Structure formats: structure tokens, C-alpha cells
Amino acid sequence: MKKILLLISVLFLFSSCSSKYTPPSSAMINVTNYKIGDVSLLKTGKACYSTFFGIPYEKSSSVIDAMRNGNISTIKMIDKEFTYAFVVNKYCTIVHGL
């Protein structure tokens, strides 16, 4: 019985390592204006999708939510950030713009 509980615990612990998340909204926006201008004027917005043991606790990594979080109306650059730790996975979309 102890071996079965140990096996189930280990499988549950590593289940978040096999998950993959691709936000559909990042493919919908095409940034064509690469002229940045004064970098000090750029605002930054960030939206993240995070899981703890495979259970999501931050549920949005869309470009639109990152724009809202940074109060951005014109996109200049889009960055992505990935963090994979032991039981915590985080995928963030970072938007820079005006």
C-alpha cells in the first residue's frame, strides 16, 4: 500500500512537467511597425499563465490582457518569458508599446 501511495504521489508531483500551453491570441496580432523611437516612452504590460502542481492559478497570457495591464494602445514589441521550476510553471507574454 505504501508503494502505491508513493507511486501516485510521484506521478502527481511530476504531472505538471508534461503540460504545454500555447495562447491562441498571440498568433492573431501581427506587429509590422518596427520603428521604436524613444525607448524611455515605452510602457510595459505583462500577462501570465501559471500552474502549481498542474493546477492553474494565473489564467491569462494573452496579448490583449498584457496590453490592458500596461495601458498600451500601440504595440511596438512582444516578448515571451518561460519559467519551469520543480512544481511551478509560468508562461508570460510581455508587451511593450505606447
Q: What is the pLDDT of residues 7-44, one digit of tens each?
A: 777 766 665 544 444 445 544 555 555 565 667 788 99
Residue type, 68: R
Please write the tens of the pLDDT for every residue from 31-90.
555 565 667 788 999 999 888 887 888 788 888 999 999 999 988 888 888 888 778 888
How many percent of the chain have pLDDT more than 70?
69
- Amino acid 30: pLDDT: 55
Q: What is the pTM of this model?
A: 0.61
**pLDDT > 80? residue 93:** yes
Contact 52, 10 (CB under 8 A): no
Q: Where are the alpha helices (DSSP H) in the chain?
A: 2-13, 63-70
Could you tell me where the beta strands, DSSP code E, fall in 9-74?
43-52, 55-59
